[in-house]
Structure 1
Amino acid sequence: MAKRRKVANPLALAVLAELTAEPMHPYEMGRRLKEHGKDRDIKYTRSSLYMVVEQLRKAGFVAERETVRDTQRPERTVYALTEDGRHELHDWMRQLVAEPQHEYPHFGVALSLLSVLPPVEAAELLGRRLETLDGQVEEVHGLLRTAKEQDVPWIFLIEEEYRLGRLETEQRFVTHLIESLKEPDHIRAWQEFFGSRT
């Protein structure tokens, strides 16, 4: 069973990880998250980032290090990782890496209710999804090619490799599902079942 966290937002985990490099202010954290491509896996806005930093401060995982005053910019508070924060980061990472968690993806919800759509329409919609998946797979392949040409160490690409694996698995699944939805036996069974309810 997942451990209850004082701050459970995945953005908090990313902030703690960024602060292992050095103390910084939230604006810099956001810039680095985007620069490192973390915004592809963690949804956040500037205001949510500031809110999470404040939650981490209240939990004792980060502490104010200094306030930087610059005549051209508003004053900025620099935060540093505390010992409790470092412990929380490592504990949370160990849990996420070792223990699979049940997630509730939107596509899973759609699949669980797919039978409400006529098979022909469902197949057509899944065809559109497959086109999008094809584009996403090509995008990730391109990103990985570029990163390898730039000698980016593999450890910094693992989330993209994982994303590629998920996308390619979904491509195969959706292709098979489209074929299954077009089978005459399925169409006939759907019409018999749902036709009697209209």
Structure 2
Amino acid sequence: MSIQIVILGLLKEKEYHPYEMKKVILEHKWDQLFPVTDGNLYHAIRKLEKHKWIQAEKQEQVNNRPNRTVYQITDEGKHQLSEEIIEVFKKRMPEPRSLYPALLFIESPEIPAASEHIKAWISELKAESELQHDYQSVIPNLIQEHYKGLNEFYMNWFMKILQALEEKK
């Protein structure tokens, strides 16, 4: 999902050929979030093209190299990008390989739905943090402490994200 979000997000901004997409991903260090190989990049492109979320726009010839295909996003692809971004927040996917790509390409059409899901996520985190159980062993208490600390971190971070989204409007 994450590489698909990145490909769709990049193509929403402008047309790219796969090598350019990989170059942007590497320049921005997004490859630290998910593995980027020629194989998984081209596999994702083929999958997106099969679903008609992207399409080949043109073939380019540069010097004596083989032709390269330049892709563009379709209207269905723009809709899919929105759906995948919303899905990350709807399903509460906190792992960076899902959450960060969704945040990178969150734009005004997605903001209202995403904001509502982020608010709901914050409410759930708050409710979970308020639960308290006193265990008789040290390790379960430390796990609970860690869990509550993560919840608090995410609540504060999501509040900052909401504020940034509101300022973007």
Q: TM-score, normalised by structure 1?
A: 0.46
Higher relative contact order (CA 8 A, sep 6+): 2
Give runs of aligned pairs for residues 106-117 of structure 1, distance below 5 A.
none
> How many Å separate the matches in 2 of 1:67 and 1:100?
40
Q: Deviations over 1:85-128 (max 9, x none)?
A: 0000011101213431487xxxxxxxxxxxxxxxxxxxxxxxxx
Bigger Cα Rg: 1
Equivalent residue, structure 1, for 2:52: 60
Q: Is it true that 1:31 corresponds to 2:23 in the alignment?
A: yes
Aligned residues: 100
Q: Counterpart amino acid of 2:43?
A: M
Measured in 2, the distance between the counterparts of 1:74 and 1:21 equals 25
1:74 maps to which residue? 66
Task: Kindly provide the amino acid, as one letter, of the partner of residue 55 in structure 1.
Answer: K
Pair 1:47-2:33 in alignment: no
Structure 2: where are the runs of 5+ without partners?
Answer: 96-102, 105-137, 143-169
Distance in 2 separating the partners of 1:76 and 1:88: 25
Distance in 1 (CA, whole Å) between partners of 2:21 and 2:73 is 13
Question: SS at 1:24's partner residue?
Answer: coil
Report the residue type matching 1:59 in the other structure: H
Matched residue SS, 2:50: helix
Q: Which amino acid aligns with 1:71?
A: N
Q: Name the structure 2 match of 1:90.
A: 82
| 2:12 is the counterpart of 1:14 | no
Deviations 1:151-172 (A, max 9, x none): xxxx87xxxxxxxxxxxxxxxx
Counterpart amino acid of residue 89 in structure 1: L
The 8 Å contact of residues 22 and 36 in structure 2, kept in 1 or not, is answered as no
Please state how far the C-alpha of 1:25 moved relative to its aligned partner: 0.4
1:96, 1:78 → 2: CA distance? 28
Please tell me the residue identity of whatever aligns with 1:57.
E
Structure 1 stretches of 4+ with a deviation exceeding 6 A read none
Alignment of 1:92-171 (within 5 A): 92-101=84-93
- Letter in structure 1 aligned against 2:60: V
Map Cα deviations across residues 160-185 of structure 1 (whole Å, 9 max, x no partner): xxxxxxxxxxxxxxxx97xx8xxxxx
Q: Greater CA deviation, 61-70 or 94-103?
A: 94-103
SS in 1 for 2:57: strand
Counterpart residue identity of residue 50, structure 2: K
Of all paired residues, the percent bearing the same amino acid is 26
Measured on the aligned residues, the alpha-carbon RMSD in Å equals 2.3
Give the SS at the match of 1:89. helix
CA shift, 1:46, in A, is 1.0
